[in-house]
Structure 1
């Protein structure tokens, strides 16, 4: 166990034999350079295929049918697909809750289905993962007692549903990412994903069998990027498999918000886009100039929708604007990378 402190390609010259040979050689060198450069880093940007963006991409084959329970002083919400092959525990960020991951339904009247959270769940269910979400007791996750409480809940839940032999995975964002990094030191996950969080590796003893760890982060947050780099180096030195996915900001489009948010129609999405451009919230290339939290868009929206404060979609729009700016937000856009990571380390713990 250990405690981590806080955090050429050689070219040669030879006689030219033929133009074709030189071309093949050049292409080979370029290929090697690219492989070496990007071996341990994947950079994800806004996908070009709009099908990956829409809120109803899985609607024809998959529906939310969550079960809500109150266990050990907190809410848990879960869904198990037919013939599950793994269990996925999801940990929200500060001021989040389990209800954010699920659409409102007869079985979950208080669910809100934030756009990124719900798409993470849908893609996990599509992958045949049993999904378990747990609410933190306070605004953010705490450590010690809450770690033990969550471990007991997970162990009780998989035992109750007779899926304790399945691999267990975990994904946490922000506060949830720090929490997952701590829970993983005592609970055997097949692999974990820490989203917009560097983990708590500077303040805890890390066992030699710590699970493979993928960092999904937004490099616009330069301080966090450096901390993640240090965490990766420390884990790698321990022999723990690590990788990272960098999530860049992307331009808004007129239909982006209606593609991502179930309760927002296309006409209103276009109006919002035009309003944001008129107010100067986006630049000439349609990129957000500031994080959604720092943009006075809610006041501006009242010009076209006076009752905007009464609509649930305001929180949903806020999340998507944060995501487009690409500084600190939960994201489902990298779920293909995340699932690939989970699948490559899928083993019974």
Structure 2
């Protein structure tokens, strides 16, 4: 119950209520403006994300000439630069294989060279990292005996190349991220990167010398963001160095796909951008309205007879659309930060 005299005290004169009302009005107006434009505050600017990124700067200085081997029932594809300073193990996601990381070549005729995957390899080789990729036995990585199999393969490969004195690091995406998080608990890494994966920290007894861990994720995936926040605190409580990189959505432009995908010409890239506009797949600023996997753009593209597209590049385009929407996809966009993380923990 209000005390007697409360109303008259609060409203005793115009000078007492006009200022609070004005402040309330201004506060509500600012909140409304923030809500109206919050996407613009959060979204990266086109010039910041695309024009400042030299997507293919390593293509001219690094050539992919991998060696393909078959061991323990799986493919191993690797390349070692001159005077390597570290070894990088890359673990793919579900429905992927080691061939995704490497361009098709005489050395690897079955290689696919998906744009984000290959750019990570190019970044690594340009920085003098020896790179080893291994295919999972099944559709996704298994967290039981396959962990020991891969550990033995990596150790064998390092021994064969006489690279034992070099630091060992790892990057795993999605299923590969879970796999790397478990592998790092039984194998010595200088540091690891878990991409679009929160790891399996809730299911294992984390060893005291667990490696420094960098999470690279897409905050649109709210569940994964919450789990990463939780595990960041878990690792910090154990005095393990940890950091996070967030990947936001990227707008498409007429030249985006041509810049990202080798063998996809500028004409086709511009035609695809126009096609996406016609179908309403992107908004007036080039942002995808849905996840690339949900657009059904491949079926719609069959109607576009005038657009001559190499069907072998459909998976490459799919990867870039997934990346642009930024919900769940391999990404090389923050390669500079990722390799600075690796390099900062090389002893």
Provide TM-score, normalisation by structure 1: 0.84
SS in 1 for 2:81: coil
CA distance in 1, matches of 2:305, 2:59: 29
Give, in whole Å, the separation in 2 of the partners of 1:44 and 1:338: 19
Identify, as 1 or 2, the structure richer in helix: 2
Aligned to 2:27: none
2:78 aligned partner: 78
Q: Quote how far apart the aligned CAs of 1:310 are.
A: 6.7
TM-score by length of 2: 0.85
Contact 2:268 2:309 in 1 (8 A): no
**Runs of 5+ consecutive residues of structure 1 not aligned to the other structure:** 1-42
User: Match of 1:302?
Assistant: 302
Q: 2:118 aligned with 1:121, yes or no? A: no
* Aligned alpha-carbon RMSD (Å): 1.7
1:50 has 2:51 as partner: yes
Instruction: Specify the alignment match of 1:213 in structure 2.
Output: 213
- CA deviation vs aligned residue, 1:207-260 (integer Å, no higher than 9, x gap): 010000000000011110000000100000000000000000011011000101
Indicate conservation of the 8 Å contact 2:169/2:190, yes or no: yes
Once the two structures are TM-superposed, the CA of residue 263 in structure 1 deviates from its matched residue by: 2.0
Q: Is the 8 A contact 1:302 1:308 kept in 2?
A: no
> What is the 5 A alignment of 1:1-349?
47-48=48-49, 50=51, 52-54=53-55, 56-305=56-305, 311-347=311-347
Secondary structure, aligned partner of 2:201: coil
Structure with higher RCO (Cα < 8 A, 6+ apart): 1
Kindly provide the CA deviation profile for residues 281-301 of structure 1, in whole angstroms up to 9, marking residues without a partner as x. Answer: 001211000110000111122
Q: Could you tell me how far apart the structure 1 residues matched to 2:308 and 2:241 are?
A: 46
Larger Rg: 2
Shift of 1:171: 0.1
Counterpart-to-counterpart distance in 2, 1:158 and 1:84 = 12
Q: 1:228 to 1:44 in 2, by over 3 A?
A: farther
Distance 2:191 2:307 in 1: 44
Per-residue Cα deviation, 1:174-193 (whole angstroms, up to 9, x for no partner):
00000000000010000000
Rounded to whole Å, the distance in 2 between the matches of 1:115 and 1:256 is: 12
Structure 1's consecutive aligned runs of 4 or more residues displaced over 2 angstroms after TM superposition are 43-54, 303-310
Distance 1:125 1:65, change over 3 A: same
- Aligned-partner Cα distance in 2 for 1:337–1:108: 29
Q: Deviations over 1:88-140 (max 9, x none)?
A: 00000001100000000000000000000000000000000000000000000
In 2 relative to 1, CA 226–308 (structure 1 residues): closer, same or farther, beyond 3 Å?
farther
Q: Distance in 2 between matches of 1:327 and 1:45?
A: 18
Q: Does structure 2 retain, via aligned residues, the 8 Å contact 1:322–1:329?
A: yes
CA contact (8 A) 1:53 1:259 kept: no
Determine the C-alpha separation between the residues in 1 that align with 2:180 and 2:213.
10
- Three-state SS of the structure 2 residue aligned to 1:52 is coil
Deviation at 1:304, TM superposition (A): 2.5
Q: CA deviation at 1:44?
A: 7.9
